[in-house]
């Protein structure tokens, strides 16, 4: 039977801005099977990073989790205090951030920072560190170990962060747009490292706005729009037959063959402060109906996917 490493139940998160409360994550329910790469995809501003930061208890002070559970190996992360979550963060659950420089301390050498992650230091510690750097295909290991973060390229810094998750033996790795700041060839090599992590039995939740990455590297995908999961599916099925109009629009904007005109998604994602009644995607939807403007859709579920759209409602 499939085993889920992470389960999210009825999660609701919002932000206080000038004394008003604005929802950012709307009652989402998700499960993440062990040993797979799961994508959460959508445009910037759709709530993907808020979700990741909620898992790690890294939300800003004006955020509030109003309801829900995040069960990691059966324990609710939202019930842990700061000391307890610190024991999990960077150890059982690792983060590969968009900007690796933010996760590395500029004042310490790479070796010192890797040593920090080793739980029980012993005579093999130096070997453990070198082995992890070797696994992330760093060639000049001795030079890298004595370097400070600013002396390394962006791709090399991401490799070091991935090595940290190997040393910590993290079971779950959250990758928040990990290749955004990198050029294409370096991006591909970092994404290939995520496949290596999956081969080692790790589970990865990959945040991305790039559906070509989803298609090439991920097993399942959840499409997010303004805090709602609008479609969840196995990757091949979603690309073969997208159901939700937002998913269709994202795929239409994806370069596929030479000479094909790319479609634009109508309008722009609304700011969190704008209240939208009914389906949140209705101002941009090519299939909008009267009901969409006033009534939030329910999920249409079959064994292959969940879709939040009135087009699939059962009459
Ligand atoms: Fe479009 Fe209506 Fe479906 Fe929303 S519910 S995506 S507006 S068809």
Q: Read off the pLDDT of residues 209-246 as tens digits, 9 standing for 90 and up.
A: 999 999 999 999 999 999 999 999 999 999 999 999 99
Which of 128, 144, 169 finishes a domain?
A: 169
- pLDDT tier at 15, thresholds 50, 70, 90: very high
Q: Which domain holds residue 110?
A: 106-169
Q: Compute the C-alpha angle 137/143/144, nearest 5°.
A: 55
Sign of the dihedral through C-alpha 148, 188, 2, 132: negative
Look at residue 191 and tell me if it is in a domain: yes
Indicate whether residue 288 lines ligand 1 (CB < 6 A).
Answer: yes
Residue-wise pLDDT tens digits, 110-119: 999 999 888 7
Which of 169, 191, 222 finishes a domain?
A: 169
Indicate whether residue 230 lines ligand 1 (CB < 6 A).
Answer: no
Candidate from 26, 286, 292 with most ligand 1 atoms within 8 A of CB, to mutate: 292
Candidate from 270, 294, 311 with most ligand 1 atoms within 8 A of CB, to mutate: 311
Nearest C-alpha to atom 3 of ligand 1 is from which residue? 309
Residues 156 and 188 in one domain: no
Residue whose pair of structure tokens reads 């004042």 in the numeric block = 107
Residue-wise pLDDT tens digits, 70-103: 999 889 999 999 899 988 988 899 999 888 877 8
Residues 254 and 193 in one domain: yes
Residue-wise pLDDT tens digits, 253-310: 887 766 667 778 888 999 999 999 999 999 999 999 999 999 999 999 886 789 999 9
Residue-wise pLDDT tens digits, 110-147: 999 999 888 777 788 889 999 999 999 899 999 999 99
Residues 83 and 138 in one domain: no
Look at residue 313 and tell me if it is in a domain: no
- pLDDT tier at 189, thresholds 50, 70, 90: confident
Residues 33 and 129 in one domain: no
Residues 230 and 220 in one domain: yes
- pLDDT tier at 252, thresholds 50, 70, 90: confident
Q: HSE (CB half, 13 Å, CA atoms) of 27?
A: 4
Indicate whether residue 242 lines ligand 1 (CB < 6 A).
Answer: no
Q: What percent of the chain has pLDDT over 70?
A: 97
Distance 315 CA to ligand 1 centre (A): 16
Query: What is the Cα–Cα distance from 193 to 138, expressed in whole angstroms?
Result: 11
Residues 85 and 194 in one domain: yes
Q: What are the angstrom distances between the C-alpha of 255 and each of 46, 209, 233, 258?
A: 21, 14, 21, 8
Q: Quick check: 206 and 38 in contact, CB under 8 A?
A: yes
Distance 290 CA to ligand 1 centre (A): 10
The residue that leads in pLDDT, 314 or 23, is 23
CATH of the domain at 195: 3.40.50.300
Indicate whether residue 88 lines ligand 1 (CB < 6 A).
Answer: no
pLDDT of res. 79: 95
Mean pLDDT to the nearest integer, 56-71: 95
Residues 127 and 180 in one domain: no
Look at residue 305 and tell me if it is in a domain: no
Distance 230 CA to ligand 1 centre (A): 10
Q: How many domains does the chain have?
A: 2
pLDDT of res. 2: 62
Look at residue 310 and tell me if it is in a domain: no
Q: Which ligand 1 atom sits closest to the C-alpha of 289? A: 2
Residues 12 and 74 in one domain: yes
Q: What percent of the chain has pLDDT over 90?
A: 75
Q: What are the angstrom distances between the C-alpha of 253 and each of 48, 58, 248?
A: 19, 32, 9
Residues 217 and 151 in one domain: no
Residues 14 and 49 in one domain: yes
Residues 20 and 163 in one domain: no
pLDDT of res. 1: 52
Candidate from 46, 246, 270, 282 with most ligand 1 atoms within 8 A of CB, to mutate: 282
The residue that leads in pLDDT, 138 or 183, is 138
Query: Closest Cα to residue 36, out of 13, 68, 5, 79?
Result: 5
Residues 245 and 163 in one domain: no
pLDDT of res. 315: 62
Q: Quick check: 204 and 95 in contact, CB under 8 A?
A: no
């Amino acid at each position: 039977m499939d085993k889920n490493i992470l389960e999210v139940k009825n999660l609701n998160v919002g932000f206080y801005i000038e004394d008003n409360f604005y929802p950012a994550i709307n009652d989402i329910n998700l499960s993440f099977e062990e040993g797979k790469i799961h994508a959460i995809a959508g445009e910037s501003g759709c709530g993907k990073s808020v979700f990741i930061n909620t898992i790690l208890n890294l939300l800003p002070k004006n955020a509030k989790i109003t309801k829900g559970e995040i069960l990691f190996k059966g324990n609710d992360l939202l019930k842990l205090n700061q000391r307890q979550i610190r024991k999990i963060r960077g150890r059982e659950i690792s983060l590969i951030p968009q900007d690796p420089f933010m996760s590395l301390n500029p004042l310490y050498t790479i070796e010192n920072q890797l040593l920090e992650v080793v739980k029980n230091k012993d005579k093999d510690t130096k070997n453990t560190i070198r082995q992890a750097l070797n696994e992330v295909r760093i060639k000049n290991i001795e030079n890298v170990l004595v370097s400070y973060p600013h002396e390394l390229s962006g791709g090399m810094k991401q490799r070091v962060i991935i090595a940290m998750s190997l040393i910590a033996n993290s079971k779950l790795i959250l990758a928040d747009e990990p290749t955004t700041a990198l050029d294409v060839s370096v991006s591909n090599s970092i994404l290939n490292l995520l496949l290596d992590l999956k081969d080692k039995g790790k589970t990865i939740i990959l945040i991305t706005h790039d559906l070509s990455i989803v298609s090439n590297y991920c097993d399942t995908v959840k499409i997010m729009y303004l805090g709602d999961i609008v479609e969840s599916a196995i990757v091949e099925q979603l690309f073969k037959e997208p159901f939700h109009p937002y998913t269709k629009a994202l795929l239409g904007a994806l370069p596929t063959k030479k000479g094909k005109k790319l479609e634009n998604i109508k309008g722009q994602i609304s700011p969190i402060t704008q209240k939208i009644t009914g389906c949140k995607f209705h101002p941009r939807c090519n299939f909008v109906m009267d009901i969409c403007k006033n009534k939030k859709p329910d999920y249409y579920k079959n064994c292959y996917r969940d879709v939040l759209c009135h087009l699939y409602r059962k009459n």
